[in-house]
Chains A and B, each alone.
Chain A
Amino acid sequence: MTLQIYEHDVIIVGAGGAGLSAAISAAEQGVDVGVVCKSLLGKAHTVMAEGGIAASLGNVVQDDDWRSHFLDTMKGGWGLNDPKMAEIHAMESPERVLDLERWGAVFDRTTDGRISQRNFGGHRYTRLAHVGDRTGLELIRTLQDKAVSLGIKVYMEYTITEILKDSTGKKMAGAFGYWRVTGLPVLFRAKKIILATGGSGMAYRVNSSSWEYTGDGPAMALRVGAELVDMAFVQFHPTGMVWPLSVKGTLVTEGVRGEGGVLKNSDGERFMFNYIPDAYVGSIADTEEEANRWAAGDASARPPPELLTRDVVARAILNEVVEGRGSEHGGAYLDIASQRPTEFILRKLPAMYHQFKELAGIDITKEPMEVAPTCHYMMGGIRVDPETQETCISGLYASGEAAGGLHGANRLGGNSLSDLLVFGNRAGIHAGETAQKMKSFPKIPEKHIESAIDHLSFPFNNTSSGEHPFQLRDELQTIMEEYVGIKRDEEGLNKGIKELQKLKSRTSNLVATGSPSYNAGWQTCFDLINLIDVSLAIAYSALERKESRGAHTRIDFPVPSDSLGKIKFIVSLSSDKFNISNVSIPTPRKELLSMIKKDQTKQKSGGKK
């Protein structure tokens, strides 16, 4: 096989929001940038984002500022967030949204002609800048056009299988993979690499991801010595479609609830009033009457419990189903038809209307939707420096969903788009600046390249009696759903880990047949190797975290533990063995700390906002 070699000062793996933001800001530092992506440009999962970008622009509610956004993020993350990242995120996201506008994004407007904002769960103020319910598409198209106009080279349909280090074994030196069109190997030599590969939703059967989201970034980083953080926290979005089967898991935007949609069980009861957690008692409406006033625009009313954080709503729906009050296909009813006029729904939620009309034959302006939790987001990811996004491997960066730390135990809706803009931008700037100062490309030892090439063809060399990749993926999803799903316990996790280890040992027998060009079976072999590593990291972290917090629910430890609330678990890999260690969360700086305390006392006294 002939090896194709490309050189760029900065290589970005992934062309979603984080990857493109990073590419743009790196290119603006004057370096040569290449973007490598698994699909075509503009198809990354960011296009699926619907609701909006959380940024305290204060266009709708003037009281909003970065401090309250910071507090909401910390509270939504159950205090497990990296405070420095949360602070940077809250401070910089408005500016990033304005960047998008300057680059041509067309946001919904307020009556005085500025960027409009909408409500979302866990945000005390109306905060999400949005473009109907196609915010992600607008975001990715804007970034894509900006990147194209900057002349950034994009390598489409390339799979990266390995990060290569230099001979010292401490520094990143390049990325190796293949072009999916031909299946031929390719090496990207770079001074800096930014991993922006997104999540790993494919580990679960019911997910809102496409086939691409197989934890490539975290798994590859783990294998070269980087650390993963907060891996126990997997966000199950409360509202995924449940019927028909073929679209099970496809996302229904939180914007439906933000625009006034309510959740009902089969008895027609708005059950969310029964699930308000202590931390939110006092800041959420406790009667339907007050919730209705809020929906009608009464500023003195508190938001309805449907807008509680995603972890809470997901568990509530699950509980209703378990207790026999689920909908026909095992979910809850999400009803906006009875709350808002047709014209309003069509204007605010056109993509949702389209999606249900064409895929399920349901008219959401007349009928309720059926929804149930779906695996949506990894709060955990590669551990990075809060300011530069560099990992502990010099020259290797991560941003977006692939990186961890910002969201803590649970991510607020709208915070992921702002996350990828803010930290994509930061990673790009830092990588660009430092790459500019480097005179030469790091050297990659020949034998590393040779073994990477060898590794590529292993599935073709195995005999046909080996493992079928799609079948193995199916087994993986079964294990994850059964033992490492929404509700977990020690016994199950131990079993799950054992099964996952068994699965991991079977990956060396994976088989692919035929030509390497666009070979989905072959591709799935590499996806699986990554997925299993990430799944193990999730399971190990979940086992270690003996408490229930945010998206992580342990049946055997149903309440949060004060001591565990101060530490983060770190996963690393040494000679194929997973190590779990912990670090304490840095204390926020004084000003922020007193803000958090003040906010908590205000909460306890039950004061309205």
Chain B
Amino acid sequence: MQSTKDLLNNYDFGSTYRVDRWWSQPIGVFIGLSLFVIYGTARLLYPIFNPSAPGIEYGSLLSPFFSPLLFSVSSESHHALFGLFPTFWPELLRSPAILILWAPLGLRLTCYYYRKAYYRAFLRDPPACAVSEGRRYKYAGETRLFLFQNLHRYFVYLGIIFICVLTFDAIRALFWHAPAGSPFWEGDIELHVGTLILGLNALLLSGYTFGCHSLRYLVGGNSRCFSCVSNPENKGKDPTISKRYTIWKIVSSLNVNHSTWAWFSLFMVAFTDFYVWMVSIGVWPDIILLKL
């Protein structure tokens, strides 16, 4: 006979009777997210140290990491809304991404899927189901430090604005070689590989953003009854299902695979940036598929 505590309630880190490879998922997530953070940081800093070839844009293509491009670091920008960085702006902060990237990062940081992913993989809270954390106390969940997670719904509003911007970027990537000074739609219509990549990126990001848990709640989840006459919302109406139900259903159908959308869109946004960077410095060409 041994003490039951030793046999069952062993709280050493990693203690479990599971026999499968429970560690493979947290390790995979750890590697995946770390790679993204490293790449993202590198790309954020890149224009500061390479202002002459920042790898932000190529012709009509604009990297999603830097869109919308408020200020540019090079004078040859097609996309900058307000020209070059103002002179008072410190040189060490002259990366256009700094101005905007906090919004999509905030969306992902407070995302109900990513929270699971990094709580498990980075904070081992828990490392995997029914596997001990090696620590029993000082846990406050999302009641103290992580209270900021409740801002998620505001980030999703911003996220939707970014979807509009990126969709615009994808459409704009259809028009090439507009004469200087005239609007982009006066250019030639050309379908490049880059156009497709920007389009796919916008699509995946939409799938991710419009499947957001907070959005799902806001568009219909907060309605407790879609047809009840006794519900103040439906006072005096027929007991028919309201339109919000349909919208809620659509968002719900995207929400079911939110984690898949999250990973694919994360990979895609990094790849899109990488692609634009590579074509802009001439590592590989942006092949033209179709010309009208």
Chains A, B in direct contact (C-beta < 8 Å):
yes
Chain A contact residues, CB within 8 Å of chain B = 112-113
Instruction: Name the interface size band of chain B.
Output: under 10
B239: interface (CB < 8 Å): yes
Contacts of A113 in B (CB 8 A): 227, 239
Task: Report the Cα distance A113→B237, complex, angstroms.
Answer: 13
Total cross-chain contacts (CB, 8 A): 3
Task: Report the Cα distance A492→B239, complex, angstroms.
Answer: 61
3 interchain pairs, CB-CB under 8 A: A112-B239, A113-B227, A113-B239
For residue A1, give the distance in angstroms from its CB to the closest CB of chain B.
25
Chain A residue at minimal CB-CB distance from B229: A113
Task: Report the Cα distance A113→B239, complex, angstroms.
Answer: 7
Task: Report the Cα distance A113→B227, complex, angstroms.
Answer: 9
Chain A residue at minimal CB-CB distance from B239: A113
Closest A-B pairs by Cβ, 3 of them: A113-B239, A113-B227, A112-B239
Task: Report the Cα distance A112→B239, complex, angstroms.
Answer: 8
Contacts of B227 in A (CB 8 A): 113
B204-241 vs A: 1/0 string, CB under 8 Å? 00000000000000000000000100000000000100
Task: Report the Cα distance A112→B227, complex, angstroms.
Answer: 11
For residue B172, give the distance in angstroms from its CB to the closest CB of chain A.
43
For residue A145, give the distance in angstroms from its CB to the closest CB of chain B.
18
Contacts of A112 in B (CB 8 A): 239
Contacts of B239 in A (CB 8 A): 112-113
Task: Report the Cα distance A161→B227, complex, angstroms.
Answer: 51
Chain A residue at minimal CB-CB distance from B240: A113
For residue B76, give the distance in angstroms from its CB to the closest CB of chain A.
57
Task: Report the Cα distance A113→B228, complex, angstroms.
Answer: 9
For residue A420, give the distance in angstroms from its CB to the closest CB of chain B.
30
For residue B270, give the distance in angstroms from its CB to the closest CB of chain A.
39
Task: Report the Cα distance A10→B227, complex, angstroms.
Answer: 42
Chain A residue at minimal CB-CB distance from B228: A113
Chain B residue at minimal CB-CB distance from A114: B239
Chain B, 256-285, CB within 8 A of any chain A CB? none
Task: Report the Cα distance A341→B239, complex, angstroms.
Answer: 28
Task: Report the Cα distance A523→B227, complex, angstroms.
Answer: 51
For residue A347, give the distance in angstroms from its CB to the closest CB of chain B.
15
For residue B104, give the distance in angstroms from its CB to the closest CB of chain A.
38
For residue A486, give the distance in angstroms from its CB to the closest CB of chain B.
46
Task: Report the Cα distance A112→B241, complex, angstroms.
Answer: 11
Task: Report the Cα distance A359→B277, complex, angstroms.
Answer: 55
Task: Report the Cα distance A112→B240, complex, angstroms.
Answer: 9
For residue B39, give the distance in angstroms from its CB to the closest CB of chain A.
43
Task: Report the Cα distance A602→B92, complex, angstroms.
Answer: 97
Chain B residue at minimal CB-CB distance from A112: B239
Chain B residue at minimal CB-CB distance from A113: B239
Chain A residue at minimal CB-CB distance from B238: A113
For residue A83, give the distance in angstroms from its CB to the closest CB of chain B.
40
For residue A561, give the distance in angstroms from its CB to the closest CB of chain B.
54
Task: Report the Cα distance A57→B149, complex, angstroms.
Answer: 49
Task: Report the Cα distance A395→B195, complex, angstroms.
Answer: 84
For residue B239, give the distance in angstroms from its CB to the closest CB of chain A.
5
Task: Report the Cα distance A113→B241, complex, angstroms.
Answer: 11
For residue A101, give the distance in angstroms from its CB to the closest CB of chain B.
13
For residue A305, give the distance in angstroms from its CB to the closest CB of chain B.
38
For residue B242, give the distance in angstroms from its CB to the closest CB of chain A.
14
Task: Report the Cα distance A113→B231, complex, angstroms.
Answer: 14
Task: Report the Cα distance A123→B227, complex, angstroms.
Answer: 32
For residue A59, give the distance in angstroms from its CB to the closest CB of chain B.
14
Task: Report the Cα distance A485→B227, complex, angstroms.
Answer: 51
For residue A131, give the distance in angstroms from its CB to the closest CB of chain B.
18
